């Protein structure tokens, strides 16, 4: 008989344990089989409930996100081809259940990618390639009041200096003073320094250039001269008439309600937020009530709900109508009409459009006898919004509103599935249950909506409001029972001239809301700043929330590790050591004490606020670097310094002593032999930069990819560095690529009248 083989030996002489480890694998087989069977059972249960279809807008949104994340602009034919191939895959896999689901998801993602590309093609219009001073003539499209008597005016451009038809922007936006009087439909002529819409002031921040691109705005200006009203345009369309109605109604509401309550009332009626005092906005934000200023789901639901209730109650009082007419359907149709009018009157911003779509779908469901509040209605609304305005997905309004509604629907479904409690025997007990149920729902909905939207608010605004639950619980009854019903009454009686009492009632309700906001904002720690975190954490938050809300079975708890990973990434983000403005005129450097220090001849107030908020530092508490007419110097940890050069005569000294040299000029080639250099050529390609020290050098994150061009980033200027611009910052450069001409003058901050303007001004 053959002897058994000797066990294989390791180099140290001991027997290998591979056979024992291999033998353990079969013992796991029953566990794996049970897990597979459990997953199949849960998926079958979810399929019976129709839940996989709810993932269609999620897949569609992934396609939209992939499009906007691309470094270079995708070709239209490629987007069409990808969608066509996905559709062919759906047809080929129609008889295979699992494969069909996967291919449908790919088709939805390809559809989202194509929708985003088509939206870009539709929005493409001429944009200024550089700043220029010019006289512009155009027709006023929109007049938006701003604080301190200023106005932001949007023009349909007729003439733009010497630019031809293919070069001049179709729309321009300018911020000006109160004179002369302007209204929608007027023709105006003015002189100003115009510039292209600016990109983010920090990588990952708010991209005004992209927002302006999809609004077809190709130029912005601040503080124009020689503004002349040329009188009404010859053609007066419906849009101009509607804008004039908004302006008159805004003035009527503001004159009827004094103080900050009047400014907030105008925002709730016509969507004009500009005149609201900054202190009022700060109080509302600290109390978790800033969402009431943007006309969105809450306002649209209250308007439609008020109209629905009034019409249905009025018809129910007429016996013949109550017995013979479809009262509920008539009320739903009237509510839809009221919501549509409110949409037009409020300016039809993206958030309002999305809210109207959700309300319209819910009311149409009532018209055909279906449940108004259902997850499929939310999924359909999300799909419609993404198809019409794919770019909206990148903004906080879309993300926060759909997150809140999805979380609330999931909670109501879970609550509905619970066994019903026994009916109380006495009337007193039943009344107590009604009150307790109402209180529970009010607190739970506020808490759930706040938790669902907190990650998105933290990502976009870098702050959290711990007392938002208290603020909303105290203020929502006033909004629901007094303020928004008064809006309906005021709008209904305005044509008769009997709207005054309704605006007075609205003012009383808003006075209470603002008092609550001031009280909550005064509590210690009412607003806390948090460090800015990256897109990876936000994506995990969004996917984890979708997983938690869209499944009904125990599958939903697989969202816990996803959300935990997102929280871990958000809590421990990377903090940059230097943040550089897109113009190179100002920067923020992290000093030896770990705090940011501002440097610049005249740092942009808006950029400074954004940098400090992203670093969890309250505005007004940052130190300023030491500056002179030649530039600024700020210390870094480890004893090195960063130098901001504003005059070419400072290069010789600063290039030798600084670890990093930043300048809006063209730096001499020899400078990069001693220090890392960020100059005009680099910033032209990258926009704003965040730098993190990596030993003796720096690693960089750019606001835009220097290797690619998107329609909203503009074409690369002549003389800009090639695709490896970020690498060239930290290595010696050829003299021909970076030679500075003697024509570079010192930087004068007063030569750019818009240097300190915020996107709100633009």
Q: Are residues 221 and 324 in the same domain?
A: no
Q: What pLDDT was estimated at residue 340?
A: 87
pTM value is 0.83
Give the N- to C-terminal CA distance of the chain in Å, as an integer.
Answer: 93
**Where a domain ends, among 70, 95, 123?**
123
Q: Is residue 328 part of a domain?
A: yes
Which segment of 136-150, 192-206, 389-403, 633-647 scores lowest on mean pLDDT?
A: 136-150
Instruction: Decide if 607 contacts 584 (C-beta within 8 A).
Output: no
For 278-300, letters b (16+ CB in 10 Å) and e give eebbebbbbbbbbbbbbbbbbbb
The residue that leads in pLDDT, 3 or 547, is 547
- In tens, the pLDDT along 344-359 reads 877 777 667 777 887 8
Q: Are residues 346 and 488 in the same domain?
A: yes
- The token duo for 663 is 């300048």
Q: What pLDDT was estimated at residue 374?
A: 75
Please spell the DSSP secondary structure of 353-406, one letter per residue: HHHHHHHHHHHHHHHTT--SS-HHHHHHHHHHHHHH-GGGGGSHHHHHHHHHHH
**Where a domain ends, among 236, 266, 300?**
236
If pLDDT is split at 50, 70 and 90, which confidence band does 747 have? very low
Provide CB contacts within 8 A for 132, sequence distance 6+: 161, 193, 194, 195
Whether residue 180 has a cis bond before it, omega within 30° of 0: yes
Of 485, 519, 486, which Cα lies nearest the Cα of 500?
486
Q: Does residue 1 carry a pLDDT above 70?
A: no
Q: Are residues 563 and 546 in the same domain?
A: yes
For 639-663, letters b (16+ CB in 10 Å) and e give eebbbbbbbbebbeebbeebbbbbb
Q: Is residue 3 part of a domain?
A: no
Radius of gyration of the chain (CA): 30
Neighbours of 448 (CB within 10 A): 16
- The arithmetic mean of pLDDT across residues 511-532, rounded, is 88
Neighbours of 17 (CB within 10 A): 10
Instruction: Decide if 45 contacts 553 (C-beta within 8 A).
Output: yes
Q: Is residue 460 part of a domain?
A: no
The residue that leads in pLDDT, 734 or 95, is 95
Q: What pLDDT was estimated at residue 756?
A: 40
Q: Is residue 652 part of a domain?
A: yes
Q: Are residues 270 and 185 in the same domain?
A: no
- The arithmetic mean of pLDDT across residues 667-677, rounded, is 84
Q: What pLDDT was estimated at residue 567?
A: 93
Instruction: Find the domain containing 557 and state its range.
Output: 535-571
Q: Are residues 263 and 223 in the same domain?
A: no
The residue that leads in pLDDT, 117 or 628, is 117
- In tens, the pLDDT along 624-651 reads 878 888 888 888 887 888 889 888 888 8
Of 123-127, 347-351, 598-602, highest mean pLDDT: 123-127
Q: Does residue 736 carry a pLDDT above 60?
A: no
Give the rounded percent of residues in the chain with a pLDDT score beyond 70: 87
Q: What pLDDT was estimated at residue 165?
A: 82
Pairing between β-strand 578-580 and β-strand 689-694 as defined by DSSP bridges: antiparallel
Q: Does residue 738 carry a pLDDT above 50?
A: no
Q: What pLDDT was estimated at residue 387?
A: 92
Q: Give alpha helix (H) positions in 142-293.
A: 208-214, 238-256, 259-270, 278-286
Q: Are residues 566 and 677 in the same domain?
A: no
Place of tokens 């709207």: 499
Q: Is residue 462 part of a domain?
A: no
Q: Is residue 438 part of a domain?
A: no
Q: Is residue 352 part of a domain?
A: yes
User: Residue 49, exposed/middle/buried by CB under 10 A (0-12, 13-18, 19+)?
Assistant: middle
Q: Does residue 733 carry a pLDDT above 70?
A: no
Q: What pLDDT was estimated at residue 565?
A: 94
- In tens, the pLDDT along 148-192 reads 678 888 998 889 888 888 888 889 999 888 778 888 888 899 999
Q: What pLDDT was estimated at residue 81?
A: 93
- The arithmetic mean of pLDDT across residues 53-76, rounded, is 92
Q: Give the chain's mean pLDDT.
A: 81
Q: Are residues 60 and 147 in the same domain?
A: no
Query: What total number of domains does the chain contain?
Result: 5
User: Residue 90, exposed/middle/buried by CB under 10 A (0-12, 13-18, 19+)?
Assistant: middle
Rounded CA-CA distance 618/494 in Å is 44
State the CATH number of the domain containing residue 232: 2.40.50.140
Read off the DSSP letter of residue 479. Answer: I
Q: What pLDDT was estimated at residue 488?
A: 83
Q: Are residues 503 and 614 in the same domain?
A: no
Q: Are residues 67 and 180 in the same domain?
A: no
Q: Are residues 346 and 367 in the same domain?
A: yes
- In tens, the pLDDT along 41-54 reads 888 888 888 888 89
Q: Are residues 292 and 209 in the same domain?
A: no
Q: Are residues 633 and 699 in the same domain?
A: yes
Q: Is residue 243 part of a domain?
A: no
Rounded CA-CA distance 37/28 in Å is 14
Distances (CA, A) of 3 to 6, 10, 13, 17, 529: 9, 21, 21, 20, 74
- Look at the alpha carbons of 363, 369, 372, 378 in this order and tell me if their dihedral is positive or negative: negative
Q: What pLDDT was estimated at residue 163?
A: 86
Place of tokens 């796991």: 28
If pLDDT is split at 50, 70 and 90, which confidence band does 722 have? very low
Q: What pLDDT was estimated at residue 24?
A: 53
Q: What pLDDT was estimated at residue 740?
A: 34
Q: What pLDDT was estimated at residue 714?
A: 67
Of 170, 182, 202, which Cα lies nearest the Cα of 759?
202
Rounded CA-CA distance 185/559 in Å is 52
């Amino acid at each position: 008989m053959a002897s058994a083989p000797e066990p294989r030996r390791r180099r140290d002489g001991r027997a290998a344990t591979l056979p024992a480890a291999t033998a353990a694998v079969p013992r796991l087989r029953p566990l794996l089989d049970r897990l597979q069977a459990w997953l199949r059972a849960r998926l079958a249960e979810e399929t019976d409930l129709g839940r996989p279809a709810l993932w269609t807008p999620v897949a569609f949104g992934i396609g939209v996100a992939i499009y906007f994340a691309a470094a270079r602009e995708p070709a239209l034919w490629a987007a069409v081809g990808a969608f066509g191939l996905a559709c062919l895959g759906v047809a080929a896999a129609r008889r295979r259940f699992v494969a069909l689901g996967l291919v449908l998801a790919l088709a939805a993602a390809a559809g989202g990618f194509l929708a985003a590309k088509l939206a870009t093609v539709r929005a493409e219009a001429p944009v200024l390639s550089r700043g220029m001073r010019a006289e512009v003539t155009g027709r006023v499209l929109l007049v938006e009041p701003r604080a301190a008597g200023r106005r932001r005016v949007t023009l349909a451009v007729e003439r733009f200096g010497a630019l031809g038809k293919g070069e001049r922007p179709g729309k321009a936006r300018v911020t000006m003073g109160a004179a002369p009087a302007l209204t929608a439909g007027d023709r105006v002529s003015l002189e100003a320094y115009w510039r292209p819409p600016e990109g983010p002031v920090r990588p990952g921040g708010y991209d005004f250039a992209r927002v302006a691109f999809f609004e077809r705005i190709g130029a912005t200006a601040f503080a124009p001269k020689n503004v002349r009203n040329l009188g009404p345009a010859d053609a007066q369309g419906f849009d101009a008439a509607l804008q004039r109605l908004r302006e008159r109604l805004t003035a009527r509401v503001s004159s009827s309600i004094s103080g900050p309550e009047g400014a907030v009332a105008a925002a709730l009626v016509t969507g004009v937020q500009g005149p609201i005092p900054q202190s009022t906005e700060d109080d509302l934000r600290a109390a978790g009530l800033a969402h009431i200023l943007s006309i969105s789901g809450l306002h649209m639901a209250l308007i439609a709900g008020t109209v629905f209730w009034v019409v249905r109650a009025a018809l129910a009082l007429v016996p013949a109508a109550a017995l013979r007419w479809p009262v509920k359907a008539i009320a739903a149709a009237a509510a839809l009409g009221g919501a549509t009018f409110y949409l037009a009157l409020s300016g039809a911003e993206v958030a309002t459009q999305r809210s109207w779509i959700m309300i319209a779908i819910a009311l149409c469901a009532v018209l055909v006898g279906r449940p108004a509040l259902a997850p499929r209605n939310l999924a359909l609304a999300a799909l419609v919004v993404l198809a019409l305005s794919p770019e909206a997905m990148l903004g906080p309004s879309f993300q926060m509103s759909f997150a809140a509604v999805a979380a609330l629907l999931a909670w109501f479904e879970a609550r509905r599935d619970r066994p019903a409690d026994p009916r109380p025997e006495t009337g007193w007990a039943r009344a107590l249950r009604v009150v307790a149920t109402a209180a529970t729902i009010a607190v739970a909905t506020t808490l759930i909506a706040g938790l669902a939207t907190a990650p998105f608010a933290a990502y976009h605004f870098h702050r959290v409001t711990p007392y938002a639950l208290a603020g909303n619980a105290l203020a929502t009854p006033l909004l629901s029972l007094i303020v928004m019903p008064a809006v309906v009454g005021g709008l209904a009686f305005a044509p008769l001239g009997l709207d005054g009492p309704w605006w007075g009632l609205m003012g009383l309700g808003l006075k209470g809301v603002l008092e609550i906001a001031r009280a909550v904002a005064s509590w210690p720690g009412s607003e806390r700043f948090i460090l800015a975190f990256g897109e990876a954490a936000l994506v995990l938050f969004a996917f984890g929330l979708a997983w938690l809300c869209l499944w009904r079975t125990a599958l939903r708890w697989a969202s816990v590790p996803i959300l935990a990973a997102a929280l871990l990434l958000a809590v421990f983000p990377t903090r940059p050591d230097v943040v550089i403005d897109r113009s190179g005129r100002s920067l923020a450097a992290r000093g030896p004490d770990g705090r940011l220090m501002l440097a610049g001849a005249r740092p942009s107030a808006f950029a400074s606020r954004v940098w400090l908020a992203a670093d969890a530092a309250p505005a007004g508490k940052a130190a300023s670097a030491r500056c002179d007419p030649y530039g600024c110097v700020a210390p870094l940890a480890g004893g090195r310094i960063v130098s901001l050069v504003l005059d070419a005569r400072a290069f010789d000294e600063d290039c030798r002593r600084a670890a990093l040299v930043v300048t809006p000029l063209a730096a001499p080639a020899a400078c990069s032999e001693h220090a890392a250099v960020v100059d005009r050529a680099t910033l032209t390609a990258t926009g704003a930069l965040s730098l993190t020290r990596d030993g003796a050098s720096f690693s960089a994150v750019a606001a835009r990819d220097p290797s690619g061009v998107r329609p909203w980033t503009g074409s690369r200027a002549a003389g800009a560095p090639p695709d490896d611009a970020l690498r060239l910052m930290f290595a010696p450069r050829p003299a021909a690529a970076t030679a500075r001409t003697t024509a570079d003058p010192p930087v004068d901050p007063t030569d750019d009248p818009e240097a300190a303007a915020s996107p709100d001004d633009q």
